[in-house]
Structure 1
Amino acid sequence: MYDTILVPTDGSDAANRATEHAVSLARTFDADLYGLYVVDTQRYGKQTLGTDDVLEELEKRGREVLAELEERADADQVPVTTEVVDGRPSSEIMAYADEVDADLIVLGNRGLGGIGGTIGSNAERVVRYGDRPVITA
């Protein structure tokens, strides 16, 4: 049913729930698992990211979050390929899903900046405008 699963993560509680679900699905379906962290350059603005140090620090945080995903996947003996990219999260998620030809995207319903019980803007864009099945957690 699923050969390739993409799990974008930002380290939020919702993303961690999505990670658990994605790892379980990858194990169940013997699917390739891909983890993605997007440094939200739109959120921080070009002036804030004007120095390489700031961008490098945000990318380092992404690698740390993906290392947690790798540990979780390794515990279930699920190989995972990870990548850190810069850009608008929803656009980068959909582009990466195209790149790896993902059969399914599993993402948190709300990211780090989210409050309340509704779906976050990036998750909504992926669900609304993406052309692949999406599960939110």
Structure 2
Amino acid sequence: MYDTILVATDGSEPADRAIDHALDIASTFDATLHALFVVDTRRYGNTMLEDSEATLSDLNERGRDVLSTIEGEAAINVTTELRNGAPHEQIDAYAREIDADLIVLGHRGLTSGDEIGSTAERVVRYAERPVITA
């Protein structure tokens, strides 16, 4: 049913739940798992990031740390990818590149609240493949 699964993370608690679900699903279906971290350049503004290479470097390092933790703790092989840009666009683009059968992500990211976050909503709305939010 699922051969290739993409889990998107921003290091938040909902993303951690999504990772757990993605690992379970990948193990159940003996699927390939890809983990993606997107540095949201929209949040900080491209102008600010262009002027401060150190800030972008720090954000990318955080992404590498999150992905490294997933690789280290997973009982299966995980392919990781770090990208910069609008998260929903990068998630959809990477899912198409790897021909993912399923996208798994947290229902919201680092911001607080109970409602679905804007990234999750956009991925659910526009991705042309099944999406699970955790």
Q: TM-score, normalised by structure 2?
A: 0.96
1:17 positional shift: 0.1
1:72 positional shift: 2.5
1:108 maps to amino acid: G
Question: For each residue in 1:98-124, what CA deviation from the matched residue of structure 2 results, as whole angstroms up to 9, or x when unmatched?
Answer: 0110000000000002x2211000000
1:46 positional shift: 1.9
Query: For 1:132, what is the secondary structure of its paired residue?
Result: coil
1:48 positional shift: 2.0
Counterparts in 2 of 1:93-104, with a 5 A limit? 93-104=91-102
Question: For each residue in 1:27-75, what CA deviation from the matched residue of structure 2 results, as whole angstroms up to 9, or x when unmatched?
Answer: 11010000000000011002321222111110000001111211231xx
Alpha-carbon distance in structure 2 between the residues aligned to 1:16 and 1:72: 12
User: How many equivalent residue pairs?
Assistant: 133
1:90 and 2:126 are equivalent in the alignment? no
Query: For 1:34, what is the secondary structure of its paired residue?
Result: strand
Counterparts in 2 of 1:56-95, with a 5 A limit? 56-73=57-74, 76=75, 78-95=76-93
Give the alignment's Cα RMSD to 1 decimal: 0.8
Alpha-carbon distance in structure 1 between the residues aligned to 2:116 and 2:124: 10
Match of 2:124 in 1: 127
Match of 2:22 in 1: 22
2:98 maps to amino acid: V
Query: For 2:46, what is the secondary structure of its paired residue?
Result: coil
Alpha-carbon distance in structure 2 between the residues aligned to 1:82 and 1:99: 13
Counterparts in 2 of 1:30-45, with a 5 A limit? 30-45=30-45
Divergent runs of 4+, >4 A: none
* Percent of pairs with identical residues: 59
Counterparts in 2 of 1:5-20, with a 5 A limit? 5-20=5-20
Alpha-carbon distance in structure 2 between the residues aligned to 1:44 and 1:16: 23
Alpha-carbon distance in structure 2 between the residues aligned to 1:132 and 1:71: 28
Query: For 1:47, what is the secondary structure of its paired residue?
Result: helix
